[in-house]
Structure 1
Amino acid sequence: MERSLNNNFGPISLYLFWIGLYVIFWVMIPILSAGDSSSAEVPLILWTYAIIGLVCGTFLISLFNTLFLKKWVKRFWYLNGFIALVIGGIIDYYGVKMISL
């Protein structure tokens, strides 16, 4: 018998929750870098880390859905597959770029 998350917190809610956390962190970046000089690169670095976290987290959520929520994935395979392929392609592209430096 397969257990899934309750109706209030399903697979789509996981994606929305993760994106919401990203937006909250994105809004906090100017607050976190307020004490730095205007020419500092701290906001750029924080935004880069935020985007990396968003991409990797979204990919991990799609893998989590595939492994643990099989009933939902069978119904909405195109949504989860699209997200996994696009985000996985982004990760592969930048991984190859980093290796070939």
Structure 2
Amino acid sequence: MKNIKIGPVNLYLLWIVICLSLWLFIPVLSAGTDSSAQAPFVIGIYVIVALILGIFIISILNMFLFREWVKKFWHVNGFIALITGGIILYFIIKMITL
């Protein structure tokens, strides 16, 4: 049996594929709601929030789990961490100042 090694890039791609597959199931998940309900919108926003938080957590974990990769490609991991962290910080500030 082949040993499957999940690297940092594969970890990002796996999370994106999981979130996109959940995005495709939104009509199935909201099938029992009223036609004027906002359930598909809310579930879609939850998927986007999970995508952003998951990518941020993966970028933080990559610093500890894949040290050699981060030493080579620190700019990729740092860019992803800064962008997703900035988005999270922006929405936290917006929620506080409501």
- Give the corresponding residue for 1:48: 45
Name structure 1 gaps, 5 residues minimum.
1-5
Following superposition, the deviation at residue 68 of structure 1 comes to 1.8
- Give the corresponding residue for 1:33: 30
Q: In structure 1, how many angstroms separate the alpha carbons of the residues matched to 2:68 and 2:33? A: 49
Letter in 2 for 1:89: G
Following superposition, the deviation at residue 8 of structure 1 comes to 3.6
**Which residue of the other structure, out of 84, 87, 90, is the alignment partner of 1:90?**
87
Q: Give runs of aligned pairs for residues 62-73 of structure 1, distance below 5 A.
A: 62-73=59-70
TM-score, L = length of structure 1: 0.90
| RMSD over equivalenced CA pairs, Å | 1.3
Q: In structure 2, how many angstroms separate the alpha carbons of the residues matched to 1:33 and 1:79? A: 36
Following superposition, the deviation at residue 88 of structure 1 comes to 0.4
Letter in 2 for 1:87: T
Percent identity reads: 49
Name structure 2 gaps, 5 residues minimum.
none
> The residue matched to 2:25 in structure 1 has which SS?
helix
**Per-residue Cα deviation, 1:3-39 (whole angstroms, up to 9, x for no partner):** xxx7741000000000000011000010111121211
Q: In structure 1, how many angstroms separate the alpha carbons of the residues matched to 2:14 and 2:65? A: 18
Consecutive aligned runs of 4 or more in structure 1 exceeding 3 Å deviation: none
